[in-house]
Structure 1
Amino acid sequence: MALPRQLRDESDFDQLPDDIPISATIADIAEKKGFIVYYQFVIDVKTKGGNKYLIYRRYRQFFTLHQSLELKLGEQSSRYTVTLPTLPGKVFMGNKQEIAENRIPELNTYMKKLLSLPTWVLLDDLIRMFFYQMESDCQQAPRTLRRLRPPTRKVKSVKPKTDLLSSPRAEAMFDFNGSGKLELSLKAGEVIFLLRRVNADWLEGTVRERIGIFPESFVKIIKPLPGSDGEEEEEKGAQVSTYSCLRCSLLQPQGVDPRDVCVEEDLSTQPTYQELLSRMRELFKMEDIALNYRDADGDLVRILDDEDVALMVWESKGQGSKKRPVNQYPWELLVTLATDLTAYNTEY
């Protein structure tokens, strides 16, 4: 019975669309300065059609995916139920970077087992959307992807070519601090002469009489290596993070203290209540505060939980007449002392 079942599974796999993800590996972690500092997992995804791309996901997105899959598969009949892999649990205390690093092996195992489930599970919209490369993924700043770094080899010194203008070369768009002797440190604006392509993400080159490897995402190709797609290489540019502006103000009897906060988040991002509270405490150097917003009638409304945050975001969509910078959130935070009730029904 095993062989027919295997052949049937292979046949099902062959009929999957080419854009279905079949493997995913964490290539690095990336620190993000959003409403709070947190870490994203930089995930290298490969599709059935051979396409490769990077996506950026927080642990909370893994957790939400897992909960949704449990709910969805549990509600269906036993015929369509599968055993989901175990997701590493939440950690509430400790260094955030260390927590993210320690989660990498378990999350790699989780994704491997998840993408090894029956083909009908891979077609589920929840999984497809989680591994889909969204516009926000494409706008992320380049990373070194150290966990995808290829094995290196010793290279003999290279004699300078007489015709430098004909040599394959690239310009560094960002500083890159090489790790150890095998990686080539770069300064933005430097021209690197290319020696070879190591893999899809790393190149080898020479600058300042040093030879080493470096991530391609940190450079702009001026003249590609022989055999490269020249037009694609030359047009490839570095992409930068998306920054958005949040207007917030501290309301006190002696006056109003307005501030603008820059965060590495898209305007569509809805933060949690705890994220906003932590950021405002840090910004105004005060612990005993309350978060508020003004509704359509101009009344001050206190925010107490995530549902109130969602209501604030929703109500802001109906107040589109006010002109704002294109990168500013349509909602504003008004911070008061937690014990100060005089601010309510008061115009500032």
Structure 2
Amino acid sequence: MSMPRQIRDESDFDQLPHNIAVSATIADIEERKGFIDYYSFVVEVKTKGASKYLIYRRYRQFFSLHQNLNAKFDPARPGPNSCVLPSLPGKVFIGNKQEIAESRIPELNTYMKAMFDFRGNGKLELNLKRGEVIFLLRRVNADWLEGTVNNQTGIFPESFVKIIKPLPDSDSEAEGAHTYSCLRCYLLTPSGVDSRDVCVEEDITIQPTYKDLLSRMRNVFQLSDIALNYRDPEGDLIRVLDDKDIQLMIEEARGQQAKVNRPVNQFQWEVHVTMTSDLSVYNTEP
């Protein structure tokens, strides 16, 4: 893509939809005690329409992005697209995890101010926003990919995205790469249903313990007095109480696998979270 096509006039901003993200700032850190124990950065994203939402990113995701950008735009190799990237706080292997994460916030905020969203220019190019998950279809060439997001299919530059699950036989599938899997979960309350897609660095075949899954859902929905459930083939909620129930939940989901079309990196089982005291969600009729 030529430089003139990457640069947008100020007048173009007025034509953007109100839900387009225009800034991102790290507001806090959050401890994640799910399948793995780590701290993530809470990123507050503001849109053109003045609304806000939160996304969560680990330091290793910033580091991987920085490496990819350096390889693409390294100023040591002069060219029309070369540039000097802002500094990224280095890796720290020893110390208190919380203190390390907090100390990284100022530099990461400076780093993010230099990042920008990609806007497709033409019918073939895909419009991307920070935080969106794109399902890859094929590699167009060394620099461009084709994928689908929000029911739209198009091409986009690889340098603007973080590859979570590489294409089959992709050169980027290196030995020892991390496996990311997506878990769909729901919070059922009298006021409605809140659905989330939770990304974990475990293989899609893993069976978590009841204790770990309960802890993760408490973190996701920021509630403590909750119960875990799954839906049986008849659509009724079944409360999960121990590891055996987790195993049964997964086995029943596998039995329904052919009936539900899911992304290749999404768990076949889902978690339905309710308040512990709310028994009205269960079918108690004979």
Q: Which has the larger radius of gyration?
A: 1
TM class, shorter-chain normalised? 0.3 to 0.5
What TM-score comes out, normalization by structure 2 length? Answer: 0.42
Instruction: Give me the TM-score of the superposition, normalised by structure 1.
Output: 0.35
Whichever structure has more helix as a proportion of its residues is 1
